[in-house]
Amino acid sequence: MSDLRIGRVLSRLGLSSRRDTAAFLENHSVVFNNSPITELNTLIPEEELRKKPLLVNGREYFLRTDPVLLLHKPVGFICSHKPQKGQKTIFNLLPEQYENFYFAGRLDADSEGLVVLSSDGDLIYALTHPTRQTIKKYKVTLQRPVPPAAEQRALSGIIDRGEKLKFHKLQKISPIEYEVYLTEGKKREIRRVFARIGSEVTRLIRVEMGPYSLDSIPEGKFVTLTQEDPGSRETQSPQ
């Protein structure tokens, strides 16, 4: 075991990326062993973090020994522990030992990309609860272009089926390709917004969720991030 910088600790807990550590410490109360943490160079013994909690705004977080899984979900699979007859779920892509893992953020059957799984409910909560404002990044391809005025509507917000939907950020890559950023993930939100402003989504891929990224994980495969070395990825597939 070794001493961990606070940025690495927050990343492993799914609370912040390392590059955002300074802002996180400025905007949140972070305490360990009754000592407030405000400096980027603060070191915490890893062994102690398995026994004593890091307090973030009063909530307890422990390091876990189970791995975090990053799965590249293909189209045609759903995020569910209880599928209907004939449905394929993300757990069909994973070994049985992970069948009770929680997953962060549903992707519908028509969408693909990053799904984060863990046995640590606190980590999943940190990634998914609306109050945490975790940024999720998607690459979206449209059937046809939308005008700039429509793009602004997506950013300012629209009402659909009684819900207000809005993008946190929208970056145009080509006339029909965008990077979309969300801080909440309402049901089929991206597809609903683009449908209301004049175009159908033909491909949707989630590529980032908080500190985790899809990178080059092959479709249908997953990587494990070990607690001993969270920067090491080992691509795997069901046995």
3-state secondary structure the chain: CCEEEHHHHHHHCCCCCHHHHHHHHHHCCEEECCEECCCCCCEEEHHHHCCCCEEECCEEECCCCCCEEEEEECCCEECCCCCCCCCEEHHHHCCHHHCCCEEECCCCCCCEEEEEEECCHHHHHHHHCHHHCCCEEEEEEECCCCCHHHHHHHHHCEEECCEEECCCEEEEEECCEEEEEECCCCCCHHHHHHHHHCCCEEEEEEEEECCEECCCCCCCCEEEECCCCCCCEEEECCC
Average predicted confidence (pLDDT) for the chain: 89
Does the active-site annotation cover 215? Answer: no
- Where in the chain are the domains? 3-61, 68-130+211-236, 135-209
Q: Which CATH entry fits the domain spanning 68-130+211-236: 3.40.50.1860, 3.40.30.10, 3.10.20.600, 3.30.70.580?
A: 3.30.70.580
Does CATH number 3.30.70.1560 belong to domain 135-209?
yes
- 234 pLDDT tier (thresholds 50, 70, 90): low
Catalytic residue among 20, 66, 108, 110: 108
pLDDT score of 96 more than 70? yes
What confidence score (pLDDT) does residue 58 get? Answer: 93
CATH 3.10.290 for the 3-61 domain, yes or no = yes
pLDDT in the model for residue 29: 96
